[in-house]
Amino acid sequence: MYRKWGRGLRAILMALGALVVCLVMLGVAANLWMVERTRGRIEHQLAQCVQAPVGIVFGTSLWSRQGGRNPYFAARIDAAADLMRERRVDHLLLSGDNRTRYYNEPVSMWRELRNRRVRDVDMTLDYAGFSTFDTLVRAQAVFDVERALLISQAWHLPRAMFIADALGLKIGGCAVQAEAADGIWRLRAREWLARLATLGDLYLWGREPYFLGPKEPLVIAKPPRVSPVAVAVSLRLQGALQEGKDSPQALDMGGEGSLPAASSGDSPAQPARGEASGSGSVSEVDKARESAYGSPSSNAQ
């Protein structure tokens, strides 16, 4: 009798072991498939990222588990601001979790980008981007996005791009750089499992987004007018500061070299939720650059 129980238990354990091995092999295959299908469209230098009408910034927490600022959040915000400044994207869709009044990823991104002088008219907040899947489905179904640049870390982009491909979006990937942080192994392990779950979402159980709502097509504002004179003066000021020459106030700014005033019409309006904060002096170089691109010199209150 005991021998029969022993043989039965052994058979069960062997079956479970075989199942685990199959799942591991399936996970490895899914990961390799996604990485290989998207590798050629992911750029690791901002200057090489493809131009697109919309840049999708995926939300993440402003703070890390250790209590400091999350370097992955900061890297996404820095990259998004630089891409807007270089006009590689014309509009930013900030999509993230808004589960409570104290945890609001889209508003956190909006505040940080506003501090980097990105205009309000160049940002749209998606409060229902509870996951990568939800963000991309809503980008297409709610915000009418057809072509976009996905802005995130290199380990996250293959899954995001794979989902976008399945939805029929035309996308490119812009991998942002971030300082190494504690617990990166945990993020990579979770991403490894998430890639496997994505296959089920797309091809097995037909996942639907948590919330869709009515259509809200993005309105892409015209880029700010650039004054060649203001750009030239900005470059002169920056060069003078870098070379340790006279202070910017001492440079000859009269005549044709005078800076045009920034248009008051570019002052951003606050979105439906959240408030901007931040103050501080602005250097002459920043003022010249802002005059060139039509951005305000300080945060709107």
DSSP result, 59-127: P--SB-TTSSB-HHHHHHHHHHHHHHHTTSEEEEEEE----BTTB-HHHHHHHHHHHTT--GGGEEEET
pLDDT 10s digits, 38-72: 999 999 999 999 999 999 999 999 988 777 889 99
Torsion angle, alpha carbons of 161, 48, 57, 176, to 10: 90
Residue where a domain stops, chosen among 137, 169, 203: 203
Q: Please, which pLDDT band fits residue 77 given cuts at 50, 70 and 90? A: very high
76 is in which domain, residue-wise?
A: 39-203
**pLDDT higher for 261 or 82?**
82
Number of domains in the chain: 2
Q: Domain for residue 246, yes or no?
A: yes
Question: Do 114 and 183 share a domain, yes or no?
Answer: yes
Question: Do 172 and 275 share a domain, yes or no?
Answer: no
Whether 198 contacts 160, CB under 8 Å: no
Question: Do 277 and 160 share a domain, yes or no?
Answer: no
Q: Domain for residue 272, yes or no?
A: yes
* Angle at alpha carbon of residue 70, lines to 53 and 108, rounded to 5°: 55
Question: Do 199 and 239 share a domain, yes or no?
Answer: no
CA neighbor of 199 nearest in space, from 20, 58, 27, 19: 27
Q: Domain for residue 299, yes or no?
A: no
Torsion angle, alpha carbons of 63, 102, 276, 115, to 10: 10
Question: Do 113 and 46 share a domain, yes or no?
Answer: yes
Question: Do 46 and 192 share a domain, yes or no?
Answer: yes
State the CATH number of the domain containing residue 183. 3.40.50.620
**How far, in Å, are 29, 158, 163 from residue 203 at the CA level?**
16, 17, 11
Question: Do 173 and 264 share a domain, yes or no?
Answer: no
pLDDT 10s digits, 116-141: 999 999 999 999 999 999 999 999 99
Q: Domain for residue 255, yes or no?
A: yes
Question: Do 197 and 240 share a domain, yes or no?
Answer: no
Question: Do 198 and 86 share a domain, yes or no?
Answer: yes
Q: Domain for residue 145, yes or no?
A: yes
Radius of gyration over alpha carbons of the chain, in Å? Answer: 24
Helical packing angle, 71-85 and 105-115, nearest 10°? 50
pLDDT 10s digits, 231-286: 566 667 766 766 664 444 443 444 333 333 333 334 344 444 333 333 334 445 44
Question: Do 281 and 192 share a domain, yes or no?
Answer: no
Q: Domain for residue 215, yes or no?
A: no
Residue where a domain stops, chosen among 203, 218, 251: 203
pTM to 2 decimal places: 0.72
Q: Domain for residue 46, yes or no?
A: yes
With H, G, I as helix, E, B as strand and everything else as coil, classify residue 204.
coil
Q: Domain for residue 281, yes or no?
A: yes
Question: Do 50 and 110 share a domain, yes or no?
Answer: yes
Distance (Å, rounded) from C-alpha 115 to C-alpha 275?
12
